[in-house]
Chains A and B, each alone.
Chain A
């Protein structure tokens, strides 16, 4: 008797009753209390003042933001953006061909290569950064290798230099660039590339005017995963750059844990949050425009 129990209309079936709302409430509550409200408090703090012992006085002022635009901090912001930008560009250049190759490989090879990307992706960046310390340190692996080879070059003093910071950042974030670009490359329609060849495009032309625009969403997603975290990443700059190359993350961390000027740290955080939001909006527009 299939007609005996008339199917409930879908809208009724999936309309949440008070019970369904009550069940979802803990999750929504968690997100509000531990994501939304902390963000609001951070914003409020950024307009406060600190007292002599590092406490917070709720006294509205723009002083913290005035300080953010002090040349000292502007330079640090510029440096952070520069390093993060350089890291992102290097990651795209190194990672793109790999992601593309994996995306176009046969299924069996593709799965194997993906597995090979997943291991560094999931390995703690702390461990991977430590690996580079053992390699780049004055008495480290690279210099002893060069000495043993007797090539007459080196020893290099690489650790605690900007070069080391960029190597550390690229090494940490490369898998985060490869995976999203792979995602786009895998979905690429073969017939579009063939069409480009049939129309007389060489590999370079086909790449620049067909393949790159079609994989733009992947590049945009990868950039969001690399550029923004790299701006605020204080641990790698700390380990690879010593205290010599402070980035915005180091300054924020310092305001909260050593200098104990929370309101100023909060103002730096708000500016960083705005940069994050701006990057997000720009990339989203970019990504969606090229797919449209």
Chain B
């Protein structure tokens, strides 16, 4: 071991570095989680002002579910997210399969085009869609919001499905075709079941993206198609409101469930 002469000097430095990294990581996670935790804890606080802990209560949750505009907005969001998810899954899964299965003349260009909505600043997508809808005379409302949401959601489904396709045995489809299935049947009966975990993960992503989206929606909604984030943004601008804590807590719990479920899906597909 010729390196042994220099080795003893290093571990102490490396150990120090490792301790630093560990401590730093712990601090950053505290920074990331304390505000979220505070939000959840204070959603159960009876004090209106959110400052000091008074006593435990479910009042804000009761008030939240009795708040007409917020519940209306939540319903709108669920309708829009469902519509957008269904369309995104169809376009994203189909697109991923076709781009994987066939070598189109412009495959590379199409792939680049798909990536644009994922990296494009949301405000630019919002204003350009607004101008488009104004130009073609499409009235703003649920349709326009769903169109916007599908546009930034389906590429995520497509990418998730594409990643799964890369690990798929090409013999599967060939076997189905050899056994007499039409390409469509082979896709539906053989390929789709194999892609299920990726499709579900993509659908969850599309749903979450739609439920949380504020910026694009801001430009292409109408007064009646108000989504939950739009409503929350309006309330948060006015000031503190413990009902928002309660709503946030529900969203945070849903997000944790979503993350854990996605992780489970990832394990399934391994």
Question: What is A's interface to B at a CB cutoff of 8 Å?
Answer: 5, 11, 14-16, 20-21, 23-24, 26-28, 30-31, 33-39, 41-42, 45, 94-95, 97-98, 100-102, 111, 113, 115-120, 122-135, 137, 139-141, 144, 148, 171, 174-175, 197-198, 200, 202-203, 224-225, 228-229, 231-235, 238-239, 249, 252-253, 256-257, 262, 265-266, 269, 272-273, 276, 280
Closest Cβ neighbor of B96 among chain A residues: A27
Given A35-B120, A41-B135: 8 more A-B contacts, CB < 8 Å: A31-B110, A45-B131, A97-B25, A126-B214, A126-B229, A140-B240, A174-B28, A229-B121
Pick out which of these stretches binds chain A: B46-54, B57-65, B160-168, B194-202.
Answer: B46-54
> Is B38 a contact partner of A141 (Cβ separation < 8 A)?
yes
> Is B13 a contact partner of A202 (Cβ separation < 8 A)?
yes
Closest Cβ neighbor of A239 among chain B residues: B236
> Is B120 a contact partner of A276 (Cβ separation < 8 A)?
yes
> Is B124 a contact partner of A134 (Cβ separation < 8 A)?
no
What's the nearest-Cβ distance from chain A to residue B125, in Å?
Answer: 8
Number of interface residues of B (CB under 8 A): 87
> Is A30 a contact partner of B91 (Cβ separation < 8 A)?
yes
What's the nearest-Cβ distance from chain B to residue A212, in Å?
Answer: 14
Closest Cβ neighbor of B99 among chain A residues: A24
Q: Is the C-beta of B78 less than 8 angstroms from some C-beta in chain A?
A: no
What's the nearest-Cβ distance from chain A to residue B142, in Å?
Answer: 16
> Is B151 a contact partner of A34 (Cβ separation < 8 A)?
yes
Q: Give 4 closest A-B pairs by Cβ, nearest first.
A: A38-B128, A131-B35, A16-B102, A124-B212
What's the nearest-Cβ distance from chain B to residue A26, in Å?
Answer: 7
Q: Which residues of A contact B262 (CB under 8 A)?
A: 118
| Cβ contact of A41, chosen from B38, B124, B128, B244, cutoff 8 A | B128
Query: Measured between alpha carbons, how far is A148 from B51 in the docked complex, in Å?
Result: 11
> Is B232 a contact partner of A130 (Cβ separation < 8 A)?
yes
> Is A132 a contact partner of B17 (Cβ separation < 8 A)?
no
Residues B97-112 near A (CB distance < 8 A) = 98-99, 101-104, 110
Query: Measured between alpha carbons, how far is A118 from B201 in the docked complex, in Å?
Result: 14
Closest Cβ neighbor of B22 among chain A residues: A101
Q: Which residues of B contact A253 (CB under 8 A)?
A: 123, 218-219
> Is B103 a contact partner of A16 (Cβ separation < 8 A)?
yes
Q: Which residues of A contact B17 (CB under 8 A)?
A: 203
Question: What is B's interface to A at a CB cutoff of 8 Å?
Answer: 3, 6, 10, 13-14, 16-17, 20-22, 24-25, 28-29, 31-33, 35-36, 38-39, 42, 49-52, 91, 94-95, 98-99, 101-104, 110, 113-114, 116-117, 119-125, 127-132, 134-135, 147-148, 150-151, 154, 178, 208, 211-212, 214-215, 218-219, 229, 232-233, 236-237, 239-240, 244-245, 248, 251-252, 255-256, 258-260, 262-263
Q: Which residues of B contact A111 (CB under 8 A)?
A: 263
> Is A224 a contact partner of B119 (Cβ separation < 8 A)?
yes
Most B CB within 10 A of own CB, among A35, A119, A200, A280: A35
Query: Measured between alpha carbons, how far is A127 from B154 in the docked complex, in Å?
Result: 24
Q: Which residues of A contact B102 (CB under 8 A)?
A: 14-16, 20, 24
Q: Which residues of A contact B239 (CB under 8 A)?
A: 133, 137
A sample of 14 inter-chain contacts (CB < 8 A) reads A30-B91, A35-B117, A97-B24, A115-B259, A115-B260, A116-B29, A119-B256, A120-B36, A197-B6, A233-B123, A233-B215, A249-B123, A262-B131, A280-B119
